[in-house]
Amino acid sequence: MADRVCVRCVVSGRVQGVWFRGSTRSKAVELGLSGSARNLPDGRVEVVACGEASAVERLHQWLWRGPDLAEVTDVRCVTISPDRPFHGFETG
């Protein structure tokens, strides 16, 4: 059985108003991950991703690029124990 992990990443830069959450959802679903992406009041985006460790790592690498209009300046991720189960990938 593959190693499963959950991470919480906070993405900084020009990441709101550029379809970052929707693009993150598409990439996460493609990788078979569950979790969520939401805008934070300070202009950053929070991403929670759970699934196979290698797929979570691929999403982490993708977060540094994001969609075409994004200008990512920082991605900080920590391993977490989710406070609730995720079914699919939510944006909010």
pLDDT in tens, 17-61: 999 999 999 999 999 999 999 999 999 999 999 999 999 999 999
Mean pLDDT estimate for the chain: 94
Looking at residue 31, the DSSP 8-state letter turns out to be: T
pTM score over 0.85: yes
Average pLDDT for residues 53-82, to the nearest whole number?
96
Catalytic residues: 21, 39
What pLDDT score does 55 carry? 97
Six-digit token string for 58: 């691929």
Domain ranges of the chain: 4-83
User: Could you tell me the fold of the domain covering 4-83?
Assistant: Alpha-Beta Plaits (3.30.70)
pLDDT higher than 70, residue 71: yes
What pLDDT score does 46 carry? 98
38-63 per-residue burial string, b: 16 or more CB within 10 A, e: under 16: ebeeeebbebbbbbbeebbebbeebb
